[in-house]
Amino acid sequence: MSMERQSNEAFFWMLFSAGGVVAAILIPIHLLLFGLAFPLGWLHAPTYDHLMGLVRSPLVRVYLFVLCSLPLFHWAHRFRYTLYDGLQVKHLNEVIFTLCYGGAVAGTLLTGYMLWTMH
Amino acid sequence: MPVAKPAAAPSKPIRAKVVPIYSEFHPRWYRPRVSVYWWLGQWQYLKFILRELSSVFVAAFVVVTLFQLRALRQGPEAYARFQHWMQTPFAIALSVISFFFVMLHTITWFNLAPRAMPIRVRGKRVPEFLVAAPNYVIWLVVSVAVAWLVLK
Amino acid sequence: MADKITLEIARYSPEQDVKPSFATYEVPVYKEWVVLDALNHIKDKVDGSLTYRWSCRMGICGSCGMMVNGEPKLACATFLSSYAHNGNKIRVEPLRYFPVIRDLVTELSDFLVKLKKVKPWLIRKEKPALGQGEFLQTPDQLENYKQFSMCINCTLCYSACPVVGLDPIFVGPAAIALAQRYNMDSRDQGADERIAVLAHPEGIWGCTFVGECTRVCPKHVDPAGAIQQYKLRAVMDWVKSFVMPRAS
């Protein structure tokens, strides 16, 4: 491992931690509402207009950006290590690193683009 | 005075590919490889791997949410189609399984986070559940706030 | 409680064997006997070639670590009576994830190299003159690191940690806990010297907080906690190096 990577791991762990906190606090309620309560009819689903009204607010857009981007970095770090330890593919670490963090960056950019150009 | 001969330096361990021989100054060590199925060997390892796999369902949630955002952008008909898709058996199954894994993530995360921050009050260590408790409170408060905003 | 118990012990002789095999011995069960007593009984009365490490027989030297029914344990701290009703069998193997030299004896130099790398001693940048007297430390300052100082280097945590087995460069729980013991010691000034080893991608970052190390530790050192604390500290160090770059 190069000396460069030495301090960078701390950065990725920081992202993993931040993503983990966001995922832990925000995802359960979102999943409960949009994944179970509304489709299964336990609660009345919000109308399209109500949701668009919420999304139009810049604060909500920032919230959605955080909700979608940080957990992806949490996944990238954790999944990377699960592959290293679970499948013992540490020798492919360059490929795995690129795919995981590349995926997270791609998701982040996509989220940012969609939220920025929403009207 | 006779000078003591320096001891022979130990040679590298013999790889198993060669016909094993006994080296006089270095015994053949037994070095088993860790099986790819190591995580099935112990219940604690399996629990650990399940916890780590929860990150896959976290990512799955984000992907579905991105589809939801796209549907919102495309208009009411597209969003209705998205809502309809969320009611298909596959989507419900995915949501149920994801919910289980996301809850696993939340609970293990809050319970383990105090270990990284030992907090001492007046010299004594604050017990871990007291450090974890505020996390649960924040989680509850934020969840209620989000639900209220969405359901209003 | 039965009066006899069967021990299945891994035997490996480097001169004759390519891989270990199991030998079965029957041992009497007394209320106060531990696995170490059983091993000593076998070596004295049954099979003198059985080879294992032990010393203090009271859980402080850290020599007698071995796998007992798949769990890393100190042989001197594992009572036979707790297994006497479970089908009457105990499987004894050498500690996992270390090369086996013979029978139950493992090769520990990998651990010792890693331990030395983290510099587990007090490092002082300024050494006060002897005449100034001893370092003073309050009980609160002692509490900060006392738990991590309880480590007896028994390497049970290394046998419990899957990352140790999967990643040969991972420094390992005990070494990091001992590094943290010195980092948290108010007398120590060497935290930045240890960071080079620990902040390396394989230093501490290989750890995925499985938590097994803490569960098996006979001295309740909580190495997993030490590692997570160190991760936080490494992150703060990294942030500081960006915000306030250190003078080289």
Q: Which region among B124-138, C45-59, C111-125 has the lowest average model confidence (pLDDT)?
A: B124-138
How far apart (Å, rounded) are the C-alpha atoms in residues A75 and A20? 8
Structural class in CATH, domain C109-243: mainly alpha
pLDDT digit string, tens, across residues C23-33: 999 999 999 99
Phi, psi of B95 (to 5 degrees): -65, -40
Q: What is the mean pLDDT of residues C188-207?
A: 85
Answer whether C196 touches A (CB < 8 Å): yes
Q: Which of residues 66-85 of A touch B (CB under 8 A)?
A: 67-68, 71-72, 74-75, 78-79, 81-82
Å from C247 to nearest chain A CA?
16
User: Which chains form contacts with chain C, at 3 or more CB pairs under 8 Å?
Assistant: A, B
Chain B residue closest in CA terms to C106? B29
In sequence order, the 6+-apart residues with CB closer than 8 A to the CB of C88 are C2, C4, C5, C6
Answer whether B132 touches A (CB < 8 Å): no
Residue C248's pLDDT is what?
40
Say which residue the tokens 């500081």 belong to.
C240
Question: With an 8 Å Cβ cutoff, are A79 and B79 in contact?
Answer: no
Give the strand pairing for C89-93 and C4-11: parallel
* Mean of pLDDT over chain A: 90
Q: Which of residues 51-110 of C touch B (CB under 8 A)?
A: 70, 97, 99-102, 107
Going by C-alpha positions, the residue among A67, A39, A42, A43 that lies closest to residue A54 is A67
Answer whether C18 touches B (CB < 8 Å): yes
Residue B20's pLDDT is what?
54
Give the strand pairing for C4-11 and B124-125: unpaired
For residue A46, give the nearest of B86, B139, B150 by CB distance: B150
CA torsion angle C98 C103 C105 C106 (round to 10): -10
ipTM of the complex: 0.91
Q: Which residues of A touch B146 (CB under 8 A)?
A: 26, 29-30, 33
How far apart (Å, rounded) are the C-alpha atoms in residues B61 and A23? 10
For residue C241, give the nearest of A7, A9, A82 by CB distance: A7
CA torsion angle B14 B20 B26 B32 (round to 10): 60
pLDDT digit string, tens, across residues B86-110: 999 999 999 999 999 999 999 999 9
Q: What is the CATH topology of the domain spanning C4-106?
A: Ubiquitin-like (UB roll) (3.10.20)
Domain boundaries, given as residue ranges, for chain C: 4-106, 109-243
pLDDT digit string, tens, across residues A81-119: 999 888 887 788 889 999 999 999 999 999 999 999 987
Eight-class DSSP state of A35: I
Residue A17 exposure: Cα atoms within 13 Å on the Cβ side:
17
Residue A1's pLDDT is what?
40
How far apart (Å, rounded) are the C-alpha atoms in residues C132 and C142? 21
H helix intervals, B39-88: 43-74, 76-86
* Mean of pLDDT over chain B: 86
Say which residue the tokens 């916890």 belong to.
B51
Eight-class DSSP state of C148: G
Residue B22's pLDDT is what?
57
Question: With an 8 Å Cβ cutoff, are B30 and C211 in contact?
Answer: no
Q: What is the mean pLDDT of residues B70-79?
A: 93
pLDDT digit string, tens, across residues C39-94: 999 999 999 999 999 999 999 999 999 999 999 999 999 999 988 876 778 999 99
pLDDT digit string, tens, across residues C135-180: 999 999 999 999 999 999 999 999 999 999 998 889 999 999 999 9
How far apart (Å, rounded) are the C-alpha atoms in residues A55 and A115? 8
Chain C residue closest in CA terms to B41? C70
Q: Which residues of B touch C232 (CB under 8 A)?
A: 116-117
Residue B1's pLDDT is what?
47
Å from B119 to nearest chain A CA?
19
Instruction: Give the DSSP H/E element, type plus range, for residue C220.
Output: none
How far apart (Å, rounded) are the C-alpha atoms in residues B8 and B25? 7
Residue A3's pLDDT is what?
45
Chain C residue closest in CA terms to A9? C201
Paired residues of B121 in beta bridges: B124
Answer whether C139 touches B (CB < 8 Å): yes
Answer whether B65 touches A (CB < 8 Å): yes
Residue B19's pLDDT is what?
56
Q: Which residues of C touch B16 (CB under 8 A)?
A: 18
Collapsed DSSP state (helix, strand, coil) of residue A67: helix
- Residues B129, A11: contact at Cβ < 8 Å? no
How far apart (Å, rounded) are the C-alpha atoms in residues B58 and B69? 17
Rg of chain B in Å (alpha carbons): 28
Domains of chain A: 3-116 (1.20.1300.10)
Concatenated DSSP letters for C31-48? TT-BHHHHHHHIIIII-T
- Residues C5, C90: contact at Cβ < 8 Å? yes
Answer whether C241 touches A (CB < 8 Å): yes
Phi, psi of C244 (to 5 degrees): -130, 85
Answer whether C187 touches B (CB < 8 Å): no
Eight-class DSSP state of B33: P
pLDDT digit string, tens, across residues C220-236: 999 999 999 999 988 88
Å from A25 to nearest chain B CA?
5
Domain boundaries, given as residue ranges, for chain B: 55-151
From residue C47, give the alpha-carbon distance in Å to each of A90, C3, C25, C39, C42. 43, 20, 9, 10, 6
* Mean of pLDDT over chain C: 91
Give the strand pairing for C89-93 and C100-102: unpaired
pLDDT digit string, tens, across residues B18-63: 555 555 667 789 999 898 899 998 999 999 999 999 999 999 999 9
Does the pLDDT at position A30 exceed 50? yes
Å from A8 to nearest chain B CA?
20
Does the pLDDT at position B6 exceed 80? no
Q: Which region among A106-110, B76-80, C215-219, C238-242 has the lowest average model confidence (pLDDT)?
A: C238-242
How far apart (Å, rounded) are the C-alpha atoms in residues C192 and C103? 41
Q: What is the mean pLDDT of residues B3-28?
A: 57
Specify the amino acid at residue C93.
Answer: E
Phi, psi of C91 (to 5 degrees): -100, 120
Answer whether B29 touches C (CB < 8 Å): yes
CATH for B55-151, among 3.40.710.10, 1.10.3720.10, 1.20.1300.10, 3.40.50.12370?
Answer: 1.20.1300.10
Residue A90's pLDDT is what?
74
Answer whether A116 touches B (CB < 8 Å): no
Q: Write down the pTM of the prediction.
A: 0.88
- Span between the terminal Cα atoms of chain C, in Å: 67
Question: With an 8 Å Cβ cutoff, are A14 and C238 in contact?
Answer: yes
How far apart (Å, rounded) are the C-alpha atoms in residues A73 and A79? 10
Q: Which residues of A touch C208 (CB under 8 A)?
A: 78, 81-82, 85
Percent of chain A with pLDDT over 70: 94
Q: Hey, what are C108's tokens? A: 């520990």
pLDDT digit string, tens, across residues A39-73: 999 999 999 999 999 999 999 999 999 999 999 99
